[in-house]
């Protein structure tokens, strides 16, 4: 049961990364603001950093809260590596510490976050449903689209709602091209997807329809992900929230090691749903086991 602390103040959460990461950051802040009867402010710092290839995207949803000003978000901006290096021989250049800022220290769930009170500023990814599980219905409602789907998406939605189906999400993109992300994340193999498809067909039946969402449709076609008859949805590259809206309506889910993929599964997880996730989320990092809920099946 959700217990309200009834304290005045604010919760500011730093928003960074892609849409999936932004949703985690929002959800953790939303829950903390709600239990403290505090104002929720969002600080999309990526918008203010030069050369960022990410964009603030949460305004596509009917979310709560407002954007924080630069003054309100003091202490949440990332400090450059150059300044941190200069701070060693020149302490006067060290970044000022903001005691209100709570920084994530690992990918493991930190229960202390749930009981924070007063004015709080959050910086982290908070990739665990336990940070907002007690307001799950609120979060799912917040992440409904503000705008209607396109005609093409509505046609797919009608097929999704016509019978048992599953979505498959294939994340490649920077996981393949970016040298750091390639080592950190890795990609799910064709064997992983084929095993998941076989398992779902065994559990649900051969009539199961598959809808494949990916940032690399050519690879999906080459590898025949989803098998014969799978529909590849590859036209929402500039509007990923539309893919999420379709993914949440599917009966079952096969996800990649991606926060965007995670949300596609979780948003539709309020009903009986079989979710298959990769066993390894981060390459070579054993402290990722709080990301995938225990009720989801891990393969690989």
Please tell me whether residues 158 and 294 are part of one structural domain. yes
pLDDT, the chain, mean = 87
Please tell me whether residues 108 and 176 are part of one structural domain. no
187 part of a folded domain: yes
232 part of a folded domain: yes
Structure tokens at 256: 């990649």
Tell me the C-alpha distance between 245 and 267, whole Å: 9
Nearest CA among 227, 235, 246 for reference residue 156:
246
Specify whether the CB–CB gap between 21 and 259 falls below 8 A: yes
pTM equals 0.88
Please tell me whether residues 48 and 157 are part of one structural domain. no
Residue 7's pLDDT is 57
4 part of a folded domain: no
The last residue of a domain, from among 111, 142, 173: 142
Please tell me whether residues 95 and 185 are part of one structural domain. no
Please tell me whether residues 161 and 229 are part of one structural domain. yes
Residue 82's pLDDT is 46
Please tell me whether residues 274 and 161 are part of one structural domain. yes
End-to-end CA distance of the chain: 36
Sheet with 165-170, edge to edge strand ranges: 231-233, 209-214, 165-170, 252-254, 275-278, 297-299
Please tell me whether residues 200 and 291 are part of one structural domain. yes
The last residue of a domain, from among 84, 110, 142: 142
Instruction: Specify the length of the chain in residues.
Output: 300
Structure tokens at 299: 């393969």
Please tell me whether residues 163 and 289 are part of one structural domain. yes
Please tell me whether residues 134 and 170 are part of one structural domain. no
5 part of a folded domain: no
Nearest CA among 5, 24, 4 for reference residue 109:
24
Please tell me whether residues 206 and 136 are part of one structural domain. no
The last residue of a domain, from among 83, 113, 142: 142
Please tell me whether residues 156 and 282 are part of one structural domain. yes
230 part of a folded domain: yes
198 part of a folded domain: yes
What does the pLDDT look like over 160-193, one tens digit per residue?
999 999 999 999 876 665 544 544 567 899 999 9
3 part of a folded domain: no
Residue with tokens 């086991």: 289
Question: 121 pLDDT band (50/70/90 cuts)?
Answer: very high
Cβ-based neighbour number of residue 162 at 10 Å: 9
What does the pLDDT look like over 205-243, one tens digit per residue?
999 999 999 999 999 999 999 999 999 999 999 999 999
What does the pLDDT look like over 256-299, one tens digit per residue?
999 999 999 999 987 789 999 999 898 766 567 899 999 999 99
The domain tally of the chain equals 2
Residue 213's pLDDT is 98
* Residue 248 pLDDT exceeds 90: yes
What does the pLDDT look like over 29-86, one tens digit per residue?
999 999 999 999 999 975 545 445 578 999 999 999 999 998 898 888 654 444 445 4
Residue 47's pLDDT is 54
2 part of a folded domain: no
Please tell me whether residues 106 and 45 are part of one structural domain. yes
CATH number at residue 170: 3.40.50
Residue 86's pLDDT is 46
Tell me the C-alpha distance between 105 and 123, whole Å: 10
| Residue 103 lies in domain | 10-142
């Amino acid at each position: 049961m959700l217990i309200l602390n009834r304290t005045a103040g604010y919760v500011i959460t730093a928003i960074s990364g892609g849409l999936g990461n932004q949703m985690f950051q929002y959800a953790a802040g939303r829950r903390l603001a709600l239990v403290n009867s505090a104002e929720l402010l969002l600080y999309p710092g990526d918008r203010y950093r030069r050369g960022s290839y990410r964009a603030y995207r949460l305004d596509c949803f009917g979310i709560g809260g407002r954007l924080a000003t630069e003054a309100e978000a003091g202490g949440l901006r990332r400090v450059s590596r150059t300044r941190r290096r200069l701070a060693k021989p020149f302490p006067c250049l060290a970044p000022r510490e903001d005691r209100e800022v709570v920084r994530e220290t690992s990918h493991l769930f930190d229960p202390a976050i749930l009981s924070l009170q007063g004015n709080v500023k959050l910086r982290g990814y908070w990739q665990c449903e336990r940070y907002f599980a007690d307001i799950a219905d609120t979060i799912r409602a917040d992440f409904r689209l503000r705008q209607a789907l396109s005609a093409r998406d509505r046609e797919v939605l009608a097929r999704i709602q016509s019978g048992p189906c599953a979505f498959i999400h294939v994340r490649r993109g920077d996981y393949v091209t970016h040298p750091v992300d390639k080592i950190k994340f890795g990609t799910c193999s064709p064997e992983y997807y084929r095993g998941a498809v076989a398992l779902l067909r065994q559990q649900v039946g051969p009539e199961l329809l598959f809808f494949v969402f990916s940032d690399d449709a050519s690879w999906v076609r080459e590898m025949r992900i989803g098998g014969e008859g799978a529909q590849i949805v590859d036209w929402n590259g500039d509007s990923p929230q539309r893919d999420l809206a379709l993914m949440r309506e599917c009966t079952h889910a096969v996800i990649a090691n991606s926060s965007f993929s995670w949300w596609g599964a979780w948003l539709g997880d309020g009903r009986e749903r079989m979710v298959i996730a990769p066993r390894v989320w981060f390459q070579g990092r054993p402290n990722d086991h709080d990301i995938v809920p225990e009720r989801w099946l891990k393969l690989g």
